[in-house]
Structure 1
């Protein structure tokens, strides 16, 4: 039996660069080797081989693997043939197979013979007199002879015993086990596929493992339109993607993989020149299928019909994917125009229209947000609270702590912007440049004229209470706030990021609100406007522990703005890091595993590094 330990020993005895170098010209590049990728055409090398780590990787097409994967993917060997060849080179004996595993493998090989014979019979029937209705249907779909031959279309005649008679050399129990015949207690077995256009379903090596059949008679209204083989020793529908053996090489060329809803969609797209397409088989996309996609591309595109069923299918796929998300691995999603499937779109608007739709694929988080926002009316506070609860339930499903923290932050920001829209400004601008004027009066504000009316005492007291009681007063916030009042030009670059940062001094909100309605001004004007609106520049005692150059009286403008930018970045980074550490700590307290402990310690180290950076920056100019 091939244990993981034995396979690791085999890999360790193989020098990967020597193995690959026999068929690919490698160049030494530091500790690695590089070459033009053997899996796709390129002019500059992006294929790297690392002997120390024992793997190869192409940064162009994403091809990745070890010595065994090289032998299977590049040399075209079966897994056991690859292992045997490498073992002979390494001077290792291949362990004797487990008798039970050998028996199961023998049975699978025998069932492969059954499926190959059935496929040959179906293809023969399509060209005969009984296949006329199937040929007419294929003509209505616009599939040419090359497409029909390439995808192996066939025909299953109406007779209940036709396949049994045609494959009489195989015993009936084998036909039943292969899913070609149905056995019902008290009745004679009968053929599963009758009067249907047949399509073979193949594994990653191109071997037929199952069939899909489309009904042709319009009179059989009680029969399913599409019928797939049941799960068998060869076929597990939750772990199989239709057309993967053809799509994988095409995906290495294009750098993308497209998932559509059915195998007819796959064939329509392939006929239109989009070859990197796969489809699940009668079920929603499963976790193993998502992992299979990620082995080929990091961001597969899911393409759904634009109707309500397509929306539900997208949400099911998102729910399956969320717990699996990891850095650089996610999904992108497109929805077709309502009422059109891929074949309809191509026929109506051409292949370019389909390419354009795929080019507009959207990130998973965008589709998740919009689907939940639009799922039901949001007319009451309870409705809006329900939206937030649903969003946070999705976040809780994400296993990777950093990704969960970032999703929580992003979705909370979107929810806040939706549920608590920014109040209408008290200011209006006139002409081409921002002007300062209280409503409803007109005319530009000038020094010496009465300043715009200050904020109401109620709003100021509310903000002050939140500021005092929420523990948000700290030296970094105060220093940055004072710096922005002194150097207001930087608000143009950082206002949006600051507005999305949780837990800031409320004076930031008022500062940004004025900036967005008034535009940049000189510091004296800012201080006048802000003071009249209840925003006082922080006192030096609030940031007494800091010695930033941008707070000094004889500041170098370039140096000050550079340092203020660094301080703003620290201010924005801090709550994200603290939220991630808090989430990791809570998770460790719940699960208490080595993995959760390691993640908590990693984030603690990042927090210590952050504090060190802040301390060094704060004391850099201390006298």
Structure 2
């Protein structure tokens, strides 16, 4: 259907925006405008303004902005055309007629809505009749108060193949079949789909019944599924529908979270415990379309999964579906419930506060992804570890957003490096009781710990550290001038840790940019990088940081790629050798053997050689 801008403008002009918003939000007159506490985020001081003359609302706290149609789609959760139709009725306007096929489909859906509403009335009546006694006992055993039973529309489907058909005799059988309420198999007589089940209606964003879910009540029917949902129909798409979203969305915006559980009975149990922002998929793993709908409500939905193997598989399915969709600020958080427990079990055993505590400990998507892949298979051989890295990078490759992909790759690479290349911990040195000398190792005499460094030597060491910081600044400046070298040295650069926070932030930004395409997919250029750094308020190192005479040659556009590579290699190796030397000294103190002494001396000499290279670097160029 095509709606002209003129028609939409007329619709907006006929509707009082403050009146529409005032139906669900308390608004106050403030001069020519209205103000309210923003319904899109928690606040105590009103920062949400409504301007009827201009026809828009705006929140100065969270940035929410839109007109009356946007309000109906974002706050009320209606699809665009449903919002337009509802407003058109209020404005006394006729929506331009669609083509005949669309009109026929709309009329068909309207008739099916009538069928579903009649079926819901029948199920609710049956629950409160004598034949619904077992269903009422089950609800009582779950501890659901009458308010919850009424609000969620619980009903009962009698254990009969024709009870629903007889109650809805005003509708033709073909319509009941199309609505998913009856089944026809191989040309035999149709029969009711839901029999002997506790019934729950599934509603669309406008609160209309579009499908049903039923839980079997008889323990003797072992051949029947415990839960049964309506099939896909012209009204119901199970891969797109999120159970209870129409009720949970306002509560979720107030709470700043939406909780996704595995089934609709979990949703009801949490609502009974006071957690009203819970929703559930319908018989399938969370789909991409459902994730997108959840992101329209909050930026980071919280998913709850059982702690068993099946729950972990479900979590990974959700993660793999979410990764390609990730956008800045939009992700998932994941809660792992205690083994064998669902949300209702947690609430019943430990109370609502226990569930709140679990929700408060929700982990980020990347944390769960890392833990799941790390623990999926043994990591006893180099091949095992290489397999872990390959799986992690394969997940990263599915992420579409370039910045998020680059950040995931770097984060997971760092975690993998810490796991795969971690130094083995050794027992700390324990002196003999009584204060005597440590036991000799393999006939070697005891040696005391080395004395503190003399002041002059300590000053030289401090100067070397300062020289290293200046060299890092020169390398960063050189990478800005020669951005094609960033990707070539990305793994080494990721192991650098500049002492100054602003240099570290600039280096991080360069690594992210190197893994992102430039404008129109072209390679990044120096000027483009400078512009991005300036926009992000990050600093490019200058001669003041690295010393023009000493290291300025590295920061020039025509600088040697080989010299820049040498500088990076030196900066990476030096802290690693220093760390290894500290470990060697500890081993030497704990076990005085020729081997430990030789290792200590080898590393000490290597460190001296690296410091000598650091001291010499640039002097020849500076003297030219």
- Give the match's secondary structure for 1:334: strand
On the 8 A contact 2:505/2:538 being kept in 1, the answer is no
Task: Select which of 442, 445, 451 maps to 1:445.
Answer: 451
Question: Is 1:503 aligned with 2:503?
Answer: no
Task: Select which of 453, 474, 477 maps to 2:472.
Answer: 477
Alignment CA distance shift 1:180-1:61 (3 Å): farther
On the 8 A contact 1:502/1:575 being kept in 2, the answer is no
Q: What per-residue deviation string (whole Å, max 9, x for no partner) do you get for residues 215-262 of structure 1?
A: 111121111110000000100001101111110111122111000000
On the 8 A contact 1:303/1:336 being kept in 2, the answer is yes
On the 8 A contact 1:61/1:252 being kept in 2, the answer is no
Distance in 2, Cα, partners of 1:21 & 1:127? 39
Distance in 2, Cα, partners of 1:617 & 1:18? 61
Question: Which position in structure 1 is the counterpart of 2:145?
Answer: 144
Question: Which position in structure 1 is the counterpart of 2:288?
Answer: 287
Question: Which position in structure 2 is the counterpart of 1:263?
Answer: 264
Alignment CA distance shift 1:503-1:284 (3 Å): same
Question: Which position in structure 1 is the counterpart of 2:2?
Answer: 2
Alignment CA distance shift 1:607-1:225 (3 Å): same
Instruction: Report the alpha carbon displacement of residue 80 of structure 1 after superposing the two structures with TM.
Output: 3.2
On the 8 A contact 2:403/2:515 being kept in 1, the answer is no
Distance in 1, Cα, partners of 2:542 & 2:55? 41
Task: Select which of 580, 585, 593 maps to 2:513.
Answer: 580
Question: Which position in structure 1 is the counterpart of 2:575?
Answer: none
Q: What per-residue deviation string (whole Å, max 9, x for no partner) do you get for residues 490-527 of structure 1?
A: xxxxxxxxxxx952598x79xx9xxxxxxxxxxxxxxx
Task: Select which of 85, 95, 115 maps to 1:81.
Answer: 85
Gapped regions of structure 2 (runs ≥ 5)? 432-437, 458-467, 477-489, 550-624
Q: What per-residue deviation string (whole Å, max 9, x for no partner) do you get for residues 35-80 of structure 1?
A: 4325788431232569999864547788664320325677999523
On the 8 A contact 2:307/2:338 being kept in 1, the answer is yes
Q: What per-residue deviation string (whole Å, max 9, x for no partner) do you get for residues 166-192 of structure 1?
A: 111000000000000011123111110
Instruction: Report the alpha carbon displacement of residue 307 of structure 1 after superposing the two structures with TM.
Output: 1.1
- Give the match's secondary structure for 1:385: helix
Distance in 2, Cα, partners of 1:474 & 1:16? 66
Distance in 1, Cα, partners of 2:54 & 2:320? 34
On the 8 A contact 1:262/1:279 being kept in 2, the answer is yes
- Structure 1 length-normalised TM: 0.71
Question: Is 1:19 aligned with 2:14?
Answer: no
Question: Which position in structure 1 is the counterpart of 2:532?
Answer: 606
Alignment CA distance shift 1:344-1:612 (3 Å): closer
On the 8 A contact 1:259/1:279 being kept in 2, the answer is yes
My pick for the range that moved more, 250-259 or 93-102, is 93-102
Question: Is 1:569 aligned with 2:489?
Answer: no
Distance in 2, Cα, partners of 1:360 & 1:612? 33
Question: Is 1:109 aligned with 2:114?
Answer: no
Distance in 2, Cα, partners of 1:370 & 1:76? 35
On the 8 A contact 2:28/2:34 being kept in 1, the answer is no
Distance in 2, Cα, partners of 1:28 & 1:195? 60
Question: Which position in structure 2 is the counterpart of 1:419?
Answer: 420
Alignment CA distance shift 1:81-1:52 (3 Å): same
Question: Which position in structure 1 is the counterpart of 2:392?
Answer: 391
My pick for the range that moved more, 185-194 or 379-388, is 185-194
Alignment CA distance shift 1:100-1:442 (3 Å): farther
Question: Which position in structure 2 is the counterpart of 1:218?
Answer: 219
Alignment CA distance shift 1:170-1:321 (3 Å): same
Alignment CA distance shift 1:620-1:381 (3 Å): closer
Number of corresponding residues: 505
Distance in 2, Cα, partners of 1:260 & 1:117? 29
Distance in 1, Cα, partners of 2:546 & 2:294? 50
Question: Which position in structure 2 is the counterpart of 1:458?
Answer: none
Question: Which position in structure 2 is the counterpart of 1:468?
Answer: none
- Structure 2 length-normalised TM: 0.71
Instruction: Report the alpha carbon displacement of residue 406 of structure 1 after superposing the two structures with TM.
Output: 0.6
CA RMSD across the alignment: 4.2
Q: How does 1:202-601 map to 2 (within 5 A)?
A: 202-422=203-423, 443=449, 445-447=451-453, 476-477=471-472, 502-504=491-493, 565=500, 569-574=502-507, 576-584=509-517, 596=521
On the 8 A contact 1:12/1:54 being kept in 2, the answer is no
On the 8 A contact 1:388/1:415 being kept in 2, the answer is yes
- Give the match's secondary structure for 2:276: coil
Q: What per-residue deviation string (whole Å, max 9, x for no partner) do you get for residues 364-407 of structure 1?
A: 10000000000111111111001000000111111110111111
On the 8 A contact 1:123/1:153 being kept in 2, the answer is yes
Question: Which position in structure 2 is the counterpart of 1:128?
Answer: 129
Distance in 1, Cα, partners of 2:188 & 2:262? 35
Instruction: Report the alpha carbon displacement of residue 572 of structure 1 after superposing the two structures with TM.
Output: 5.0
Alignment CA distance shift 1:413-1:182 (3 Å): same
Distance in 1, Cα, partners of 2:510 & 2:144? 55
Alignment CA distance shift 1:377-1:157 (3 Å): same
Distance in 1, Cα, partners of 2:245 & 2:396? 31
Instruction: Report the alpha carbon displacement of residue 81 of structure 1 after superposing the two structures with TM.
Output: 3.4
On the 8 A contact 1:477/1:571 being kept in 2, the answer is no
Question: Which position in structure 2 is the counterpart of 1:489?
Answer: none
Distance in 2, Cα, partners of 1:350 & 1:95? 53
Distance in 1, Cα, partners of 2:18 & 2:534? 44
On the 8 A contact 2:135/2:156 being kept in 1, the answer is yes
Question: Which position in structure 1 is the counterpart of 2:169?
Answer: 168
Distance in 2, Cα, partners of 1:50 & 1:613? 41
On the 8 A contact 2:215/2:227 being kept in 1, the answer is yes
On the 8 A contact 2:407/2:512 being kept in 1, the answer is no
Distance in 1, Cα, partners of 2:428 & 2:405? 39
Distance in 2, Cα, partners of 1:11 & 1:275? 37
On the 8 A contact 2:112/2:175 being kept in 1, the answer is yes
Question: Is 1:68 aligned with 2:69?
Answer: yes
Distance in 1, Cα, partners of 2:243 & 2:368? 25
Alignment CA distance shift 1:307-1:180 (3 Å): same
On the 8 A contact 2:502/2:538 being kept in 1, the answer is no
Distance in 2, Cα, partners of 1:399 & 1:233? 32
On the 8 A contact 1:286/1:317 being kept in 2, the answer is yes
